[in-house]
Amino acid sequence: MGKIVAVCKSKEKGTKKGRVDAGFFRENYGLVGDAHADPQTHRQVSLLSVKSINKMQSLGVNVGYGDFAENITTEGIDLVCLPIGARLLVGDEVILEVTQIGKECHTGCAIFRQIGKCIMPKEGIFARVIQGGFIRAGDTIKAITRGRKDERGDEENSYPAGL
């Protein structure tokens, strides 16, 4: 089981996001008040591991939570190993479904403009909000379904310990 380190949002696309104490994640919409929230997209919410941010800091880049335009910064859960369709329980009520791993970095990306590279294309994940509610720093996050089918065609219900 992991935990939420930060919740971040911005009013404009292509900019770094600022930290907020808590955010309301609306079903089939995203983080209320965030520029990327949209019922028409499968990328309603973005998540990034604190390990990814630490990796960039170790290269001498001055970055922090929200600088990669992630809505949720996590620790203790291996986001990039989650398959498409995996469901995550955040806190006691919010359920997110993984819809995309990585993305093509657009030319307007604030980090890409600053340093010439970005970790979101390989290490960020995107999700849609299945069940809404508030998310705060300190909340738990855990995978509750795998999202892929096993050899019998049944959805596997949980991840091994440690994911």
Q: Look up the CATH number of the domain holding residue 92.
A: 2.40.33.20
15 in a domain, yes or no? yes
Give the mean model confidence (pLDDT) for residues 61-86. Answer: 92
Distance (Å, whole) CA 45 – CA 31: 7
65 in a domain, yes or no? yes
Distance (Å, whole) CA 10 – CA 29: 15
155 in a domain, yes or no? no
6 in a domain, yes or no? yes
Which pLDDT score is estimated for 132?
98
- Check: CB of residue 65 under 8 Å from CB of residue 57: no
137 in a domain, yes or no? yes
Q: Which two tokens stand for residue 105?
A: 């970095």
Higher pLDDT, 9 or 55: 9
Q: What's the total number of domains in the chain?
A: 1
SS3 content of the chain, % helix, strand, coil (to 5): 15, 35, 50
State the average pLDDT for the chain.
84
87 in a domain, yes or no? yes
Give the mean model confidence (pLDDT) for residues 34-47. Answer: 94
Highest mean pLDDT among 52-61, 66-75, 114-123, 145-154: 66-75
The widest CA-to-CA distance across the chain, in whole angstroms, is: 48
150 in a domain, yes or no? no
- pLDDT above 70 coverage of the chain, percent: 77
157 in a domain, yes or no? no
For residue 30, give its domain range. 2-145
The three-state secondary structure class of 56 is helix
